[in-house]
Structure 1
Amino acid sequence: MYDQFRNSLSKTTLCLSLLLFLQPFTGATTTLQPHILPFQKGFTQLFGGDTNLLRSDDDNTVHLHLNQYTGAGFRSSDMYNHGLFSARIKLPSEYTAGIVVAFYTSNGDVFEKTHDELDFEFLGNIKGKPWRFQTNLYGNGSTSRGREERYTLWFDPSKAYHRYTILWTSSKIIFYIDEIPIREILRNDETGSDFPSKPMALYATIWDASNWATNGGKYKVNYKYAPFITEMTDLVLHGCISNPIQELSTESCLETNTQLETIHYNNITPKQRTAMKRFREKYMYYSYCYDTLRYTIPPPECVIDPVIRQRFKENGRPELGHRHHRHSRKRNHVLSSQIYEIQDED
């Protein structure tokens, strides 16, 4: 079953990757397409100095280092009123407990108390255990109503680059890994201002989160394994550049938003929807939508899947304390094809 699932994901990824950045927009008056952006043209360093943020000679790849002195981070030079934000990322290997690698959009620097945010957060691992990660979103400062989901992966993200994408339009938000959609949030009237609506910048960081990242802070960063290095390449920014203080619904932004609504990333195919359903059934180990202790009534954007509902306890976690997926390890069987044990401790 699990081999079939991996094969299904791999075939879908292979077919759809041929479309990446090549499929033109439809229904728009221009043919502007997402494209890879050199670091100097689209980004600026946040912290880390010259020793912790290193750029490749072609300015297409960035290495972010974490050591006992500091981490590293960068952000987009501009803010965007909706957009497609993407990068191919390779995470640190070996023992990486306590480390967080974040790839996210935010406007917290401008709207401190009413900020919006969309997150990929990779939460570190003990050697031999999987990297866990979560997606989350906040709208209009709704930090008390975090909407996080947590997962493991069907591959080892430290062995090779994989593309992580956030699509944010006026009607929906979709998180992708490679070409597989893993989460979709649709805007509705009941969501109201909790749906992110103000211009955001793209951020990428690596930092020490020993107090919470791995098993609720049980395992800390061990700097004898430093430096911890994450690599990001083929960065993509596509959206309407906006000044958050000015009027948002400008004519140019409306045109770009129309493009985003018709881009192929915005239209999940039946095969992609099947792959997303399988991913969520097999690899999601926490969802706020099924956490009835936290939310007696699911938030309005939640779409309850009866199959997943049967698997999850009232705390939003799988019914069994541990789920073990085991299969034989053949010679030269690479780690990326293994199914990991999913722990339920943090």
Structure 2
Amino acid sequence: MLRLASIVLAVVFLVLPAASPSAAAEVDVTATVPFQKVYTPLFGFDNILRSSDDRTVSLLLDRSTGSGFISSSMYHHGFFSASIKLPSDYTAGVVVAFYTSNGDVFQKTHDELDFEFLGNIRGKPWRIQTNVYGNGSVSRGREERYVLPFDPTTEFHRYSILWTRDAVAFYVDDIPIRHVSRSRAGGDFPSKPMSIYGTVWDGSNWATSGGRYRVNYQHGPFVASFTDLALAGCPVDQMLPARGCAEAVAASDPAVMTLAKLQAMRRFRERNMVYSYCYDKRRYPVPFAECDIVESESKRFKDSGHLRLALRRRRTGRRPGRAGGAKADM
């Protein structure tokens, strides 16, 4: 079990001002504020542990309940980031999530951007899933799954969601792993203000091997630790975004997809992606417009969208760090 006293959380909050786009090039993610100034408990109140200075938060899942928090404001575009350390040992059925959503406001036409960390059997690698839902397009899921190239239970690694008017990108440490363009996603692109969430809950029915392995509470409680949680976004007042903020987010460094970033993203996907909706011919006989079907790559996937052969993990003598470890393994 993790030693809760050693868990350190730095909650980072930044609201980009109504300024010119160039002002967003310098995004400060060092300033911290008390947890209650930015977030509020969502559920499982007794399973949310906060330090005396209100800067440390741990989410627990036990037999009674999971737990979660939600941002105090809604945002219309932004860069949302968290360094997370996942529960260790046997965690089948346990789901840790870091995501944006407005499902409580737009129940039938909600938008959502997800990092979902799907529990594992002891000795097996954790898998993560990213989802992109726009305007209630849950039936057109756009899910992708990846095997992490490091052990996410021993150290914190950074997971980030970028949402601009024109694109969505997911980052692991400093590496983009997925990019979705609004022009190609069409009406399924997220378009309405969303809140930011962190949760841990029981996903026994589906999370690990399609529900074959369920949560075993003898290995609990399961603790998810968050640090460097950043909100560099555009808060809304009565559903109206701050003027000039969207342009600033679009001009920020995470939003600029350089050639080096695109190459790093391709390497990550080639080495770590184990499922893609773009290759799932059973669910989607006609690929979505944003899918770049690479014929040589498509041969690696079954008609179900799953990888034909298990990924061969490269061994390295170096201990993976946060950003550096992820880059070395990719």
Q: What TM-score comes out, normalization by structure 1 length?
A: 0.82
After the TM superposition, which of the residue ranges 265-274 and 75-84 deviates more from structure 2?
Answer: 265-274
Alignment partner of 1:145: what SS?
Answer: coil
Change in 2 beyond 3 A, CA 1:270/1:335:
closer
| Pairing of 1:38-187 with structure 2 (within 5 A) | 38-50=34-46, 52-187=47-182
**Which one of 188, 202, 211 corresponds to residue 217 of structure 1?**
211
Change in 2 beyond 3 A, CA 1:137/1:44:
same
Cα displacement (A) at 1:61: 2.9
**1:268 corresponds to 2:238:** no
Greater per-residue strand proportion? 2
Q: What TM-score comes out, normalization by structure 2 length?
A: 0.86
Paired with 2:58 and 2:160, the residues of 1 have a C-alpha distance of 19
Cα displacement (A) at 1:88: 0.8
Paired with 1:134 and 1:37, the residues of 2 have a C-alpha distance of 30
Which position in structure 1 is the counterpart of 2:9?
Answer: none
Which position in structure 2 is the counterpart of 1:3?
Answer: none
Paired with 1:30 and 1:271, the residues of 2 have a C-alpha distance of 21
**Which one of 288, 291, 297 corresponds to residue 286 of structure 2?**
297
Alignment partner of 1:290: what SS?
Answer: strand
Cα displacement (A) at 1:62: 1.4
In structure 2, runs of 5+ residues without a counterpart are 1-13
Which position in structure 2 is the counterpart of 1:4?
Answer: none
Paired with 1:217 and 1:29, the residues of 2 have a C-alpha distance of 47
Change in 2 beyond 3 A, CA 1:121/1:39:
same
Letter in 1 for 2:42: L
Alignment partner of 1:206: what SS?
Answer: strand
Letter in 2 for 1:284: M
Paired with 1:306 and 1:58, the residues of 2 have a C-alpha distance of 54
Which position in structure 2 is the counterpart of 1:309?
Answer: 298
| Pairing of 1:239-254 with structure 2 (within 5 A) | 239-243=233-237, 246=239, 248=240, 252-253=242-243
Are the aligned partners of 2:160 and 2:170 in contact in 1 as well (CA < 8 Å)? yes
Change in 2 beyond 3 A, CA 1:100/1:187:
same
Cα displacement (A) at 1:49: 1.7
The superposition leaves residues 179-200 of structure 1 with CA deviations (integer Å, 9 ceiling, x where unpaired) of 0000000111x53321000000
Paired with 1:97 and 1:29, the residues of 2 have a C-alpha distance of 44
Letter in 1 for 2:152: P
Are the aligned partners of 2:20 and 2:247 in contact in 1 as well (CA < 8 Å)? no
Alignment partner of 2:70: what SS?
Answer: strand
Are the aligned partners of 2:26 and 2:252 in contact in 1 as well (CA < 8 Å)? no
Change in 2 beyond 3 A, CA 1:147/1:34:
farther
After the TM superposition, which of the residue ranges 170-179 and 298-307 deviates more from structure 2?
Answer: 298-307
Paired with 2:20 and 2:296, the residues of 1 have a C-alpha distance of 35
Paired with 2:101 and 2:271, the residues of 1 have a C-alpha distance of 29
Paired with 1:102 and 1:48, the residues of 2 have a C-alpha distance of 15
Change in 2 beyond 3 A, CA 1:178/1:38:
farther
| Pairing of 1:315-334 with structure 2 (within 5 A) | 315-320=304-309, 322-325=310-313, 327=315
Are the aligned partners of 1:76 and 1:203 in contact in 2 as well (CA < 8 Å)? yes
Letter in 2 for 1:201: S
In structure 1, runs of 5+ residues without a counterpart are 1-20, 339-346
Alignment partner of 2:153: what SS?
Answer: coil
